[in-house]
Amino acid sequence: MHLYVHVPFCARRCSYCDFAIAVRREIPTQAFVSAITKEWAERQSEPAWHDSPGLDTIYFGGGTPSRLYPAGVAELLARFGADRRVAEGAEITLEANPDDVSGAAADSWRAAGVNRISLGAQSFDPKVLAWMHRTHDAARIGQAVKTLRSAGFDNISIDLIYGVPEDLGRDWARDLEQAIGLAPEHLSLYALAVEPHTALGHWTARGEAIPAPDNRAADEFLQAHERVSVAGYSHYEVSNAALPGCRARHNAAYWRRAPFIGLGPSAHSGFGNLRSWNAREWEDYRRRMESGATARAGDEVLDERAVRLEELYLGLRTDGGVLVRAVPEPVRSTWKAAGWAIEEAGRVRLTPDGWLRLDALVASVL
């Protein structure tokens, strides 16, 4: 079993962010811990737990989990471990903003059991960071990595966003070099998406921001693939690259359709073909937990076609690809002739050029 905990609190909303967050000056850590603990207790009686599975990975995402008081992270991990066996060597990740990383916080996270940090850098360009409404400056990224290393973290991931508007003058190659220069074990590279109800969505609608053209974003994706590969990273999933032995085990569980439980506002859970999701907003979620109501806001059972779509889409996102029989002829030959896929050992996997067309290629199969 894999466990995700959504921590919604942020100091401010980033210009591109469409996640379920709650901007708070003061973080209600104890109220959050209490609510998560209640939902966790409710989950223990569900059918998914009948075989008493332990936890192979735990992931604190957000939002900004690093804004919780470290004692709150420790309390939750202790609770999880008291009720369910946490596998020896389990991957326990916490997402952090660079400006939240202090020596005391890093030591507390490490003592609590966190062994992997996902650091939200996004860029090293001051102008881009300001445009994104990030709360840290470029210097804080390197300082955070140094602090985490001193605390004993030997598994650090750095997030970067590509495809920002051209008028920002961002040097993507320089950002890649600076990130690689910090020697993280893992890199996550995300394309900027324009969501309608974000600041960026409003800027775009008013003509105040012009998203990077598709060909520029594609060039930056391919540039990143080449650069990280030369640096010794395996580009093992559309948005992720890792040094040997450092692939994100929690995220890989989603791509394999392994069972997972999501706790917290907006969190999703999945067991086989069953999907469920929680109330999206923090205050709604908190009230539900305080009143003894369920956190769940909805669920669905995937039919055979939906399962096939999910297996195909998730499989093709990774360097493992899918079984040959999942992609019939003549589609398979068309992909290979165009340089979008290769076939080996009875599997079809996409090339970086194929990954750029992932949605369209999946649609062509179905």
pLDDT at 49: 78
Sequence ranges of the domains in the chain: 2-255, 304-365
Q: Is 200 left (phi over 0), alpha (psi -120 to 50) or beta?
A: alpha
Question: Percent helix, strand and coil across the chain, each rounded to 5?
Answer: 45, 25, 35
pLDDT at 48: 76
pLDDT tens track for 354-365: 999 999 999 999
Q: Which residues make Cβ contacts (< 8 Å) with residue 48, sequence separation at least 6?
A: 1, 259, 261, 271
The dotted CATH code for 2-255 is 3.20.20.70
Residue for token pair 């995937």: 302
φ, ψ dihedrals at 186, nearest 5°: -150, 145
pLDDT at 51: 77
Confidence bin at 275 (pLDDT 50/70/90): very high
pLDDT tens track for 23-74: 999 999 999 999 999 999 999 888 777 777 899 999 999 999 999 999 999 9
- Helix axis angle for 103-112 and 70-83, nearest 10°, is 0
∠ CA 71-74-79, rounded to 5°: 125
Length of the chain: 366
pLDDT tens track for 74-84: 999 999 999 99
- pTM of the complete model: 0.96
Collapsing DSSP to helix, strand or coil, 62 comes out as strand
- Helix axis angle for 138-150 and 103-112, nearest 10°, is 50
Mean pLDDT of the residues in the chain: 96
**DSSP state string for 29-61:** HHHHHHHHHHHHHHHTTSGGGTT---EEEEEEE
What span, in angstroms and rounded, lies between the C-alpha atoms of 71 and 212? 42
Confidence bin at 305 (pLDDT 50/70/90): very high
Ranges of H-type helices in 163-241: 172-181, 199-205, 214-230
Cα of 239 vs its chain's centroid, Å = 9
Q: How many CB atoms lie within 10 A of CB 213?
A: 12
pLDDT above 70 as % of the chain: 100
What span, in angstroms and rounded, lies between the C-alpha atoms of 67 and 25? 10
pLDDT over 80 (residue 8): yes
Query: H or E segment at 331?
Result: helix 331-338
What span, in angstroms and rounded, lies between the C-alpha atoms of 315 and 350? 10
pLDDT tens track for 290-302: 999 999 999 999 9
Collapsing DSSP to helix, strand or coil, 270 comes out as strand
